Amino acid sequence: MATTTTLTKPDPDPYDLGVPSNWTVSVDGGCVIYENAASTVRIRLTEFARHLRVYWWVDLYTRDCGGEWTKREAGLGDSFRDPEEAARVADVLIESVEAGDDFSQLPVIDTE
């Protein structure tokens, strides 16, 4: 069973992003979830292996009024081979949220 740990700043997160102090960072195995203070945007950075190679995904979710999380198409690519590149993308998304972007206008990704 995987262990979930929730960190808040100033505790460092695994990717050492510039996460504002009011955000939460949850670590669950190879997945790190960054969530804004209002719980309206979630950025998930996932490490996974395929055919002896390691990749990282950066997923973006928004929460609607009913509390459901919706995956959004951020146009950032499906996966990354470099963890620093994936972390930079997640950091840009965090900065965008802090600048006022709620990503509600981005296309929805059908997960079914």
Give the global pTM: 0.81
The model's confidence at residue 73, banded by pLDDT at 50, 70 and 90, is confident
Give, in order, the Cα–Cα distances in Å from 31 to each of 23, 43, 61, 98, 100. Answer: 16, 10, 14, 22, 25
Least confident of 2-16, 48-62, 83-97: 2-16
Residue range 52-62, pLDDT digits in tens: 899 999 999 99
Residue range 6-47, pLDDT digits in tens: 555 444 688 999 899 999 999 988 899 999 999 999 999 999
- Measured in whole angstroms, the distance separating CA 95 from the mean position of its chain's CA atoms is 12
Instruction: Specify the pLDDT at position 11.
Output: 47
